[in-house]
């Protein structure tokens, strides 16, 4: 059966790429994805790299499906996990709206270590209880929906992981999001900014909901906002771990 | 520095264990964890396996920390990702309440492919939008909190992943949880039961919020409840993919 793979490359550290993903990449004749992720893959010279910018997911998905139908071994790649704000959903959207024969393809989605899991591990155990994962970008949803979801997530007591917290086009969103959360949550709740985890330039900043400064965040940062049960353990060297206490009171 | 590793083993398929986790396991003199996870690790005969049952996380964490302080190379293991309803949070809770010298340990948390990521990849791209991850167990939180969180998550429009949906001691919880969700969400929303994904006995059942039958679920099942944007793509062989449409309307 003609196959297309959708592969999560993990956060960037090659040690966090699974053997399953490595094997699927090794079979590919064509790599499709956002430029920096396609560039990251080590592949023989005969493998064709189809790089595109970050706003054309559906075109990119259709192109990958067309090539797969022609018998190419196509690997669509995303950073982290392809199912979490990556390419997987765009590929299935293209299939749903494409020619019926695309539904005959063998689609192999290969999970990867997502940014939220890598960031949490680097910080301690902040996801120790129930949590949610949201994108702050308003490219695909109205900003009012983002704010409403933030408020409900905080009311639920979820730890909140925020992808795409900031870009040049929308430098104001994280500040507004933190303001929404400050309306609901105690101001001393821990907040972590985890930038480029698993890469050589990784950096973690810890703050609280009161002191968190959006100016310290860029598009490569994952923001983790704790819940009322998230605690900070101070260490002698001035660093700290965050973890979320498992037992929830009545 | 004396080190303790907390390692996510992934869903069970060895191809989904990262090289980082494999390397950390290879250094261990002692493996600590719930019996089935400790048994899963391939290790030389001299490695000591400390297996315990599933209800004694804190005792297990303290034991691991004591051994690490004695200079043993201890690996605490969990299935999936250790930070997602695994051992990581228990280890940090033990540190916070333990002797100050435990804070001097080098704690290395190694992320793993969590059950929710593996199940989502197997099914298609159901996590294509914002989502939340909850445990249905009331061992660590009151059932009223679980129900309240489910209601808020559904109102937020999150896709909802449910860990620990059912056990012998609480066969009724998933039925009540689905009833809560039916109060808020359209009845035709897709629901997936993903059992033992990545293992040889894996099984996926697709239903809707109306037809989902808790009797088909056991403790090894991850339950995924879609949101109003989650769609089913039918295939000629009778199987289907689920994916969540990325664009959220006003």
Start-to-end Cα distance in chain A: 53
**In this structure, are residues A80 and A9 in contact, taking their beta carbons and an 8 Å threshold?**
yes
Smallest CA–CA distance from A83 into chain B, residue: B125
Task: From A121, A115, A86, A130, select the one nearest A195 (Cα to Cα).
Answer: A115
Q: Is residue B3 a contact partner of residue B105, using CB atoms and an 8 Å limit?
A: yes
pLDDT of residue B6: 98
With beta carbons under 8 A apart, name residues in chain B contacting A122: 109
B118 → closest Cβ in A111, A124, A127: A111
Contacts of B77 in chain A (CB under 8 A): none
Q: Do B120 and A241 touch (CB under 8 A)?
A: no
Beta bridge partners of A44: none
Indicate the average pLDDT of chain B: 95
Q: Tell me which chain B residues have a C-beta less than 8 angstroms from the C-beta of A149.
A: 130, 156-158
Closest CA to A9 of A78, A72, A69, A102: A78
- The Cα B223–Cα A231 span in angstroms is 29
- pLDDT band of residue B146 (cuts 50, 70, 90) is very high
Nearest to A111 among B84, B121, B153 (CB): B121
pLDDT (tens digit per residue) in B86-108: 999 999 999 999 999 999 999 99
The reported pLDDT for the residue numbered A54 is: 67
The owner of tokens 């969700």 is B181
What Rg do the C-alpha atoms of chain A give, in angstroms? 20
pLDDT tier, B54 (very low <50, low <70, confident <90, very high otherwise): low
pLDDT of residue B200: 86
CB contact under 8 A, A132 and B132: yes
As a residue count, chain B comes to 250
Whether B2 shows a pLDDT value over 90: the answer reads no
Residue-range domains of chain A with CATH: 3-113 (3.40.1010.10), 116-244 (3.30.950.10)
ipTM, 2 dp:
0.97
User: Cβ–Cβ of A89/B114 closer than 8 Å?
Assistant: no
pLDDT of residue A1: 64
CA B39/CA B94 separation, integer angstroms: 24
Q: List CB contacts (< 8 A) between B141 and chain A.
A: 129, 247-248
Nearest Cα of chain A lies from the Cα of B211 at a distance, in angstroms, of: 23
pLDDT tens by residue, chain A, 250 residues: 678 999 999 999 999 999 999 999 999 999 999 999 999 999 999 999 998 876 789 999 999 999 999 999 999 999 999 999 999 999 999 999 999 999 999 999 999 999 999 999 999 999 999 999 999 998 899 999 999 999 999 999 999 999 999 988 889 999 999 999 999 999 999 999 999 998 888 999 999 999 999 999 998 999 999 999 999 999 989 999 999 999 999 7
Confidence of residue B64 (pLDDT cuts 50, 70, 90): very high
Chain centre to alpha carbon of residue B66: 26
Statement: residue B1 has pLDDT above 80: no
Note whether A73 and A30 are within 8 A (CB): yes
Backbone angles phi, psi at B155, to 5 degrees: -65, -35
B133–A128 CB contact, under 8 Å: no
């Amino acid at each position: 059966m003609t196959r297309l793979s959708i592969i999560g490359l993990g956060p960037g550290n090659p040690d966090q790429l699974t053997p399953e993903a490595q094997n699927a990449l090794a079979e590919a004749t064509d790599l499709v994805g956002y430029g920096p992720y396609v560039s990251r893959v080590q592949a023989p010279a005969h493998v064709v790299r189809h790089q595109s910018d970050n706003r054309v997911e559906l075109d990119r998905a259709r192109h990958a499906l067309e090539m797969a139908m022609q018998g190419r071994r196509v690997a669509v790649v995303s950073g982290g996990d392809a199912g979490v704000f990556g390419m997987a959903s765009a590929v299935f959207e293209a299939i749903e709206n494409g020619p019926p024969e695309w539904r005959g393809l063998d689609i192999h989605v290969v999970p990867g270590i997502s940014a939220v899991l890598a960031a949490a591990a680097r910080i301690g155990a902040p996801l120790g209880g129930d949590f949610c994962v949201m994108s702050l970008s308003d490219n695909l949803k109205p900003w009012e929906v983002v704010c409403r979801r933030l408020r409900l997530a905080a009311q639920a007591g979820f730890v909140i992981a925020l992808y795409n917290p900031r870009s040049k086009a929308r430098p104001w969103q994280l500040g507004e999001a933190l303001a929404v959360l400050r309306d609901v949550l105690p101001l001393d709740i821990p907040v972590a900014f985890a930038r480029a985890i698993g890469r050589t330039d990784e950096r973690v900043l810890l703050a609280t909901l009161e002191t968190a400064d959006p100016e310290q965040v860029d598009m490569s940062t994952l923001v983790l906002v704790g819940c009322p049960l998230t605690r900070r353990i101070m260490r002698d060297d001035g660093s700290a771990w965050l973890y979320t206490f498992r037992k929830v009171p009545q």
